[in-house]
Chains A and B, each alone.
Chain A
Amino acid sequence: MTGEFRKWLATGLTVLAGLTMATILASPATAQGKTLTVRFYDDPAGFDPANIFRIENENIAFNIFSGLTSYDGVTGEIIPDLATSWETADNKTWTFKLREGVTFHKGYGDFTAADVIYSFNRIKDPATASPYAAELAGIVSMEAPDPYTLVIELDAPNGNFLHTVANYHQGQIVSQKAIEEAGDQVRWQPIGTGPYYLDSIDVSSQIVLKRHEDYYDGPAPIETIVFNIIKDEATATIALRNGEVDLVMRANQEENLATLEAEGFTMNTVQNYAVALMVVNPEVEPLGDKRIRQAIAHAIDFAAITQAISPSLTQAHYSMLMPWMDVYTDDIPKYEYDPERARALMAEAGYPDGFSFKNLSTSAQGVSEVQQFQIDYLSQVGIDMEMELVDTPTFNQRRNAGDFDTATRLLPAVNPDMILFSFLHPDNLVPNGLNGARYDNPEVTELLEAARAEPDPEAAYEMYKRVQQIVAEDLPYIPTYASNVYWPGKPEVTGVHINYLAQVNFHDVDIAE
């Protein structure tokens, strides 16, 4: 090595070291509070509670806004939020005691009952054109005898009203002043009372939340949350392994989960988040016969399929409701894998040699592995399931219109009453609602309405149980599997409790030193 070169190298290294030091010193991360970087998986579509869609947007809104009630991240139970307590004698008149000392973000003032009345009226107002207006349609009157008491009168008893006013969609409380100032940009200028406020947003790359220092339950441990939009999951996995993000919102591919788990990342999860249902159109021959639907259920080994394809993400499930729901019952007929029974049922129904039907599905996903197995299992008993692949918006439109033989629906919801009403009540028949199976059983309809009105939880439970039993027998919807949600993260990121709406309350999250 020549002296010249050594001198050059020494100079170069000194400059480099100096630059590195300067970068470290200038880095804002060391000067301020904690920052958490989270992978966000799609472009944000806005955070106006009146017009909010998709879980990832809802998760941001969940941390910006509060409702009268909220959901416990661990147990899924309804807990107080802006309301500290409530009472009702008949499920019709609800009196809420509101929390005092709650303030809106960015100096938009104190929270009072007037804000709740404004927020709910805004959703109900046809001028807002909120798709969630129907959720609050039952409210006849709202009165505030004092700023921290709210009396809501409903047109009919609703035992599930606490779900309606939870921190979700229509239940989120906004500030009148902020809404009026934002004009048509409400979705990008959300002002709430939640643990975080929206600091900045670049719709194609990044969302930054800052903690609300005056949050009623104390400021959150993490000062800044940066959501980086990384759409491709393989890239998101690499970003986590590279340390570019601390937490991955929604990892949905078995191979990525396996890699991350093997490398010691924390697999934050919520199990039994939602059930996938095969919606069967009874107007298509021979699907109107319940024995045929039972035969389909018996012919497919759902347990083996989920085990073979995605044991972390799915498991077999036999009910429309989830085990953690308070009205759930396990005491229903289950259709275990039994091809002989399937053949017998088909013969009984007059189709000993089988039949065929078309399953409507999205081309975005293609013929999934699950469906390939289903096709194979069904063919073994002589049922020919053809696949009809269309693009996603077409799929949504045709499914909403009820234009299919069978289609799949995954409806995440925490309110069991909402699921049962949407799927089983004749008021919600397609194309007006989600009842794609055209299910109209007077006995079930009567039970559902009575259960909703019943103030005694025990009595209501008995009615919901009966509904689940009848529906499992009639099988208008064939449950195929229940799915789980994962947010893999660095081991030092704690408190990632995913609730049953697949949302994380970032007030609980911290980064261990």
Chain B
Amino acid sequence: MAEYAAKKFAQMLVTILGVVTLVFFTLRLIPGDAASAMAGDTLSGEALERLREQMGLGEPLVNQYFGFLRDLLAIDLGETITTRIPIAELLLRALPITLSIALGTIVLSVAFSIPLGTLAAYMAHKGRRWLDNALTGTAMVIDLMPSFWTALVLLLIFSLALGWFPASGQLNWNDPWGVAMRLALPVIVLSLSQVATLARITRTAVLEVLNEDYVRTARSLGWSELRVLFRHALKNAALPIATVVGLSFGNLLGGTVIVEFIFTIPGVGNLLITGINSRDYQLVQTLIVLYALLFVVINFTTDLIYKALDPRVQF
């Protein structure tokens, strides 16, 4: 186990280093830089050169690269190029918001998708195809709706017409209820497609298990259908579901970009958009390294959960 963990850890470092290097150089391959992105229509020639100089874009690439690595090792995230704000400070405010959205989405979508998926599997197993088809069909349709569209539709219904949730406003952590109201719609939008995906995965996994011998054995022992379904079938189907939930957490961090934009939530996705639009290399590369780190850690954790759920898994 210890040997395995060490190997995993080494792999993790190599992955991170690869991401850092790739991001650092591909970012700079894209034409345009922070100076021309910032000045837009207004500057050219010598004036633009001055701005470039002022932003420190003139330094040799290799120096910049090793400087970035050194800062990362010292856990110094640096400042944004365009606005000279410490990135750690920005993250400290943005990260809790995005994590709240992602966690809220996981909780909400698991709460809905697992019973729905199990129900669909049960119906399919019992030969009641119509209900199974209705459930999977609905899930498919929901999954196909783009989040920027559902976001706007939900805003029009629940914010404008019904007035239940605000469309804008500050996120003040001293007012948890206010924060919850602001984050409710983004969480619902993200949960919709999440529920659709997870319900389908659950259905497939449970359906497979329902045909296993031990389920038949459980039934023959005279246990109630519910007990068979949840104690035996679902428990054994939990493995693939847990994997997908774990991975989707990482995807969610990326998925918040669009909803954060539409619902004006100052989270990490918003920072990333700002960074990309302003060609703020420092901000973008730091955020991407952070995303990579999160993914790697999540994968690692998922592996551990795997082991906990199914001791048969061998490393």
User: Cβ of B38: which chain A residues have Cβ within 8 Å of it?
Assistant: 45, 53-54
Say yes or no: is B11 at the interface (Cβ < 8 Å to chain A).
no
Report yes or no: B168 in contact with A245, Cβ–Cβ below 8 A.
yes
User: Are B32 and A130 in touch, CB under 8 angstroms?
Assistant: no
| Contact indicator A396/B39 (Cβ below 8 Å) | yes
B277 sits at the interface (CB 8 A): yes
How far apart sit A43 and B270, CA to CA, in the bound complex (Å)? 10
Q: Are A235 and B42 in contact (CB under 8 A)?
A: no
B-contact 0/1 string along A16-39, CB 8 Å cutoff:
000000000000000000000001
Taking A184-B84, A232-B262 as known contacts, 8 extra A-B pairs with beta carbons closer than 8 A to each other, sorted by chain A number, are A43-B274, A188-B83, A228-B169, A229-B264, A392-B32, A393-B279, A394-B30, A411-B42
Interface residues of B (CB under 8 A from A): 30-33, 36-48, 50-51, 53-54, 82-85, 90, 93-94, 152, 155-156, 159-160, 163, 166-171, 261-264, 266, 270-271, 274, 277-279
CB-defined contacts of A431 to chain B, threshold 8 Å = 44-45
A235-B40 contact, Cβ under 8 Å, with A391-B32, A432-B45: no
Given contacts A396-B36, A397-B31, contact A433 B44 (CB under 8 A): yes
Residues of A at the B interface (CB closer than 8 Å) are 39, 43, 45-46, 51, 53-54, 129-134, 184-185, 187-188, 202-206, 228-232, 234-236, 238-239, 241-242, 244-245, 390-398, 400, 409-412, 428, 430-434
Partner of B168, one of A129, A228, A410, A434: A228
CB contact under 8 A between A235 and B155, given known A51-B54, A392-B37: yes
How near does chain B come to A189, taking the closest CB pair, in angstroms?
11
Instruction: Please indicate the chain A residues that have their CB under 8 angstroms from the CB of B93 in the complex.
Output: 202, 204
Q: Which residues of A contact B159 (CB under 8 A)?
A: 238, 242
Chain B residues near A51 (CB-CB < 8 A): 51, 54
Q: How far is the CB of B153 from chain A (nearest CB, A)?
A: 11
B168 / chain A contacts, CB cutoff of 8 Å: 39, 228, 230, 235-236, 239, 244-245
In contact, A54 and B264 (Cβ under 8 angstroms)? no
Contact B36 A203 (CB under 8 A): no
In the complex formed, the residue of B with least CB distance to A127 is B54
Number of A-B contacts (CB under 8 A): 148
Does B169 contact A244, Cβ atoms closer than 8 Å? yes
Report chain A residues within 8 Å CB of B31: 390, 393-394, 397-398
Roughly how many angstroms separate A46 CA and B54 CA in the complex, as a whole number?
15
**Residue numbers in B under 8 Å from A54 (CB-CB):** 38, 40
Q: How far is the CB of B37 from chain A (nearest CB, A)?
A: 4
Q: How far is the CA of A297 from the CA of B301 in the complex (A)?
A: 64
Residue in A187, A204, A234, A245 whose CB lies within 8 Å of B270: A204
CA distance A130 to B39 in the complex (A): 12
Chain A residue contacts of B170, Cβ below 8 A = 202, 205-206, 228
